[in-house]
Amino acid sequence: MTPPFSAGGGITPPQGAIAVIFISGRTAADAEGYGAAADAMAEAAARQDGYLGVESARGADGLGITVSWWRDEAAALAWRQNPEHTRIREQGRALWYDWYRTVITTVERAYDWQRSEPAG
């Protein structure tokens, strides 16, 4: 297999990239507005210089984890300061989140695995 291959459609982040881990608890408020804002955020991030990709999951208990990958610290910081990101972040604090945690990390290494034969 020729790396980087793209298990699950995501990217395999290179060493030295920045992973921004966003962990959050949702309020029950405004599911529709939240969904629209999440889509708008994803589009704004993808237009940003140094954006490498994003993965997101939210369980039925309301806890969500989003990891966005960035080329370097400068790219991650520019995204933090992006005006649309800032605007949506303020709405998130007003409406959508009970709590959140943002953790900035540096990628050391990554391993991919993908099924080559049916499960069982």
45-to-2, 5, 30, 81, 86 alpha-carbon distances in Å: 28, 22, 22, 11, 12
- Which residue from 10, 44, 50, 77 is in contact with its own copies, where contact means CB under 8 A? 10
Rounded Cα distance between 21 and 76, Å, is 11
Residue 2 binds its own copies, judged by CB under 8 A = no
Total residues contacting its own copies by CB under 8 A comes to 48
Q: Is 8 in the site for its own copies (CB under 8 A)?
A: yes
Could you say which of 55, 71, 78, 82 contacts its own copies (CB under 8 A)?
55
Nearer to its own copies, 9 or 83 (CB): 9
Site membership for its own copies, residue 78 (CB under 8 A): no
- Spatial separation of the C-alpha atoms in residues 37 and 58, rounded to whole Å: 15
Q: Is 57 in the site for its own copies (CB under 8 A)?
A: yes
* Cα 113-118-120 angle, rounded to 5 deg: 100
Return the number of the residue (19 or 41) whose C-beta is nearest its own copies.
19
116 alpha carbon, distance to own chain's centre: 27
Q: How many other C-beta atoms lie within 10 A of the C-beta of residue 62? A: 13
Q: Quick check: 50 binds its own copies (CB under 8 A)?
A: no
**Residues contributing to the site for its own copies (CB under 8 A):** 7-8, 10, 12-13, 19, 21, 23-25, 27, 29, 55-60, 63-67, 93-115, 119-120
